[in-house]
Structure 1
Amino acid sequence: MPIPSSVMPLSNPSIDVVIPVYNAPELTRCCIDSVVTCLGRSIEYIYIQDDASDPETHQMLDSLPYEHIHVHHAPKNQGFGASVNEAIKRSSASCVLVLNSDVEVSENFLPLLYTALATDPQLAVIIPAGNDYAKHDLEQYLRRPGGYIPTQRLQGHAFLVRRDVFLEIGGFDPAFGRGYYEDIDLGRRLDLGGWRLGVHPDAHIYHKGGGSFGRGRAFRELARRNRNLYYSRYPNARRNVLLLSGNSIPAHFPPNLMDAIENVFHAGGYVHWLAPMRPARLIPCLQMRHGFSIELMLRGWRADKRVAEVWVLSDAPRVWRALLDFWARIHGLKVLLWEEIASTEV
């Protein structure tokens, strides 16, 4: 991966908060109150970008009693990405915490996040863990200096970003319209530019989800349209590799195997590691998961949810390998021994 040309230590330790808002006044007020209460001592300004909300939300924002809050009412709805782009341009802080308006803060996690950025000058984005990461056993993952776990998938509901890097890369792409997948696209572009992304397992936040659009027809149509746009740009992000091993652990994998795994990560894909052991702080990235889901095994209708390739290490248990061979033949998947993988991947 290329090393970003502008890598440098943080020189101005200042943090602003950006909250894009579209309706949902009760959730939005709860978010703002929690930010002021829990993060107030660590931030300078809160920039609220009202994306042409209804009169009730407009009035609530104008009646906020807090100092150091800047509210901007956009004349028309632009969507999440464009709203965040505008608000970040108004900030002059070295780092910006972007929050969805349906997020609630219960602790001051900013010192943890900022320390991670200051420790690793190639880390562009750090995400607090929380209920959106409940499906991950974060104790299985290795931590980098600064205490974070690497990821190649940016979840935009809450993240601290270097402001200069965000602006340099062009921010969120307006092609994604009102929302969905614009955050994952930004993460792909940051990764391709040589920047790192991370999740801090000791920082916690609550995200309700669907606060502006809900989970109905509008959500499904937006998600489908933007999912197709994302995968048209990054077709290898659909790549799900099932890796079968015995007692080998990632730290002891051959270097060319780890290079092949890293290639999958940096293309936006996933490696599902199937092994008899239960790992403890062994897995190098959140795009590597121990085990596999029923959805992967059933070969669901969405291509990005299917196993595309099967890799087998020489120490894989014979019974497991026989069962996997049988399952792969049923679904027309080729099972590659590591020797074959080594010759095609590196």
Structure 2
Amino acid sequence: MKAAPAALRWLRMRDSGARERVKRVLGLGPPGRDLVIDPACLPDPEQHAGPAVPPSGRDDRTDQPVLIVMPVYGAFDLLTEALDRVERHSDRPWHLLLVEDASPDPRIRPFLRARVAAWGPSRATLIENETNLGFIGAVNRGLALARERDPQAPVVLLNTDALVPEGWLSRLVAPLADPTAATVTPMSNDAELMSVPTICRPMALQPGEADAVDALARRLPAQSDLPEAPTGVGFCMAIAPRFLAQAGGFDPVFGRGYGEEVDWCQRVAAMGGRHLCQTGLFVEHRGGASFGAAEKTALLRRNGQIVSARHPAFDGEVQRFIGEDPLVTERLALGLAWAAARAGDRPVPVFLAHALGGGAGHDLSRRVAAAVQSLGAAVVLRVGTAARWRIELHVPGGSTAAGTDEAATALRLLSVLPRRRVVYACGVGDPDPIEIPALLLALAEGEGQRLEVLFHDYFPVSPAYTLLGADGVWRGVPMPGRERDGHSTMRPDGRLVDLAAWQREWGRLIAAADAIVVFSGSSREIVTQVWPEAAGRIRLHPHAPLVDLPRLPPPSPMARPVIGVLGNIGEHKGAGVLAALSRQLARDGARGIGLVVLGDLDPAFRLRRPARVHGGYVQTEIPDLVRRYGITHWLIPSVWPETFSFTTHEALATGLPVIAFDLGAQGEAVRRAQARGEAACVLPLPATPEEAAAAILGALRPAGG
């Protein structure tokens, strides 16, 4: 009953948003919820990176030196760059406590002695361990000296593989002015919960990328209360002196490392300390290679067991943080800044796409993968999800996504990308799709932007994206003044959009497009009929097959005919035809003709026995399924002019006879096969499913012969 109002709206007005609401109520839509983009956390698009200003907290003790503890072991080249950046980029007084942990590299100790001598005793202190104490031992020596030197001074634990940007120090320590703040960790390319662009996934950076990302971090709005995490990350972590005095150093039980800062932060949290995420600062973490993979795995397992035993709630806290991701807005914004830096002068693709899967979904996946391979990133602006606009940043190894119901918020976030290649893939499922052209035109506005339109279906031509009327019948390309019922829609506020207004608004997008891509000659004819002025910009690019299927042996003339149907079949894909065909086969059992759907069937339609529905499959299983069911012929029952038909090409690839109706890309492909002398047959599209079923049975034997 909950779905009834939306179902009636879909049936009467072809409102695609209502259709998707019906699917969600019935549990057929995209699962789960979207994380929410907070517009208050987005940068001002008019603001440019300027002087580094602490975005949270007020620290009036800016004349008090910050004590920076840096354990040193190997990595000479990184060490020199790390020290240079500390000296060049620190924007308030500091004193560096270097703990040289008996590095095997003979260059390191003399280098540090010379560097400290040049700085003088007011700027740096060098501790030289006679033997290697390991990371925890070295850090604890530095922390102890920091407490001795000035027990009231803020402390920063900084690894030699942490490369700080301009103005980093004031931004990192300012939040410690909050008496409950125990630690502050910046965003980074490798900082677990604070990682960008994907949570808990490291990302190696190329030269200049970290500073480009931090330039955006400096533009993020000041927050009175920074997000809190279950733990800080010790590669670059500010520590409040009060909590350092209470908790002391790291526990040596963790041996050479991993888990020690988690244990320390959990102990401090029990004392009332909070661990803050400084979203207004991005610090590059080159990532150490101190341990081999096997040793690291063993250490993580051993030390993880210690943490779990001591702090049993910690794992749940981490999972809640990942699930709720309070940093998702900033993670996306900083991730987009990284994507822009990685792409350089090339535009980053932004695909507007639906959440329905199918052929358009397969094509989108391939395009996203290609963009990630060549550029490092791709963006999807997805409709038909829990939020109206879901922004997904896809990068090697993962993605980050969050949604908003406000187009202005989506535009503001995506404006982080200075160069965009805006690609319309499909907007079916959006609750108010007449607004999509304006959004895409705004995204593509400005110098250096590019706009492309892909015709995976005919949504720009009509709200009925299959071009079928309200009765599910194809009557040709709908044109204003000559359309039948089913080619208008109603907006959420109740205003009617007729076909003329629809094509006029989508025509603005077509007129502005740098390229219009179709996947079949049939689609080119339909688009040109609606917008003849766009003919010169239309490009025909048929899809490559999803898999390469082998040629199958022809069926024996004595074999029992079995009709196979590929794919998930809804009404426009010919579910009514299959239902009528199954009824005729059930009534005329003497024919002995079988029918099997390799895929799923719209539950509104039922097949009479012995016809059957196999259910889901993957394309590589097709040859085995042909043998399993004894399939001798393929039927493409689709009753709309498909823009491209993967299933038709898969059926033809097997070499078995194929029957299809003479319309759309499916009819075009079968006609072409027929002209090559292959066993293929195109039929005129009958007026009713019953007539279609009779035509299929009448053509079955000639198609095999």
TM-score, normalized by the shorter chain, greater than 0.5: yes
Aligned pairs, how many? 244
Cα deviation for residue 15 of structure 1 reads 0.8
- The aligned amino acid for 1:153 is T
Give the letter aligned to residue 132 of structure 2.
N
> Pick from 181, 184, 208: which aligns with 1:123?
181
Distance 2:75 2:292 in 1: 14
**Cα distance in 2 for residues equivalent to 1:97 and 1:146:** 22
- Alignment counterpart, residue 70 of structure 1, candidates 125, 138, 154: 125
- In 1, distance between residues paired with 2:127 and 2:311? 34
Q: Which has the larger radius of gyration?
A: 2
C-alpha offsets along residues 288-314 of structure 1, whole Å, 9 cap, x if unaligned? x978xxxxxxxxxxxxxxxxxxxxxxx
TM-score by length of 1: 0.62
Between stretches 215-224 and 48-57, larger displacement belongs to: 215-224
- Cα distance between partner residues in 2 of 1:237 and 1:271: 12
Alpha-carbon distance between aligned partners in 2 of 1:158 and 1:271, rounded to the nearest angstrom: 21
Q: What corresponds to 1:176 in structure 2?
A: 254
Give a deviation string over 1:36-93, Cα, whole Å, max 9, x none: 1111x41331000111212232222222243322111112222222222211222215
Letter in 1 for 2:84: D
CA contact (8 A) 1:172 1:182 kept: yes
Whichever residue aligns with residue 156 of structure 2, its letter is: L
Equivalent residue number for residue 97 of structure 2: 47
> Which residue in the other structure is 1:87 paired with?
142
Q: Distance in 1 between matches of 2:281 and 2:119?
A: 25
For residues 1-346 of structure 1, what are the structure 2 equivalents within 5 Å?
13-39=64-90, 41-54=91-104, 55-64=106-115, 65-67=118-120, 68-91=123-146, 92=150, 94-118=153-177, 120-132=178-190, 133-136=195-198, 146=224, 148-211=226-289, 213-239=290-316, 264=317, 270=321, 272-273=323-324, 276-277=386-387
CA distance in structure 1 between the aligned counterparts of 2:60 and 2:255, rounded to whole angstroms: 32
State the shift of 1:279 in Å: 8.8
Q: CA deviation at 1:117?
A: 1.6
C-alpha distance in structure 2 between counterparts of 1:173 and 1:146, whole Å: 33
Aligned-partner Cα distance in 2 for 1:272–1:24: 36
CA distance in 2, matches of 1:187, 1:103: 20
Tell me the alpha carbon deviations over residues 183-203 of structure 1, each in whole angstroms, 9 at most, x when there is no partner: 111111111111111011111
Structure 2 CA distance for aligned equivalents of residues 30 and 182 of structure 1: 26
- Give the Å deviation of 1:136: 4.8
Tell which deviates more after alignment, 97-106 or 159-168.
159-168
Question: How far apart are 1:144 and its partner, in Å?
Answer: 9.2
User: Distance between the aligned counterparts of 2:299 and 2:186, measured in 1?
Assistant: 25
**Amino acid paired to 2:237:** F
CA deviation vs aligned residue, 1:242-292 (integer Å, no higher than 9, x gap): xxxxxxxxxxxxxxxxxxxxxx46xx8646259923799xxxxxxxx978x
Equivalent position SS for 1:148: coil
Q: CA deviation at 1:31?
A: 0.9
Structure 2 Cα separation of the partners of residues 28 and 235 of structure 1: 37
* Between 177-186 and 145-154, the greater mean CA deviation after superposition: 145-154
Shift of 1:20: 0.5
CA distance in 1, matches of 2:136, 2:223: 30
Q: Unaligned regions of 5+ residues in structure 2, if any? A: 1-58, 200-215, 326-384, 392-399, 403-705
Residue pair 1:273, 1:290 contacting (<8 A) in 2 also:
no
How far apart are the structure 2 equivalents of 1:164 and 1:181? Answer: 22
Distance 2:252 2:78 in 1: 25
TM-aligned CA deviation for residue 28 of structure 1:
1.4
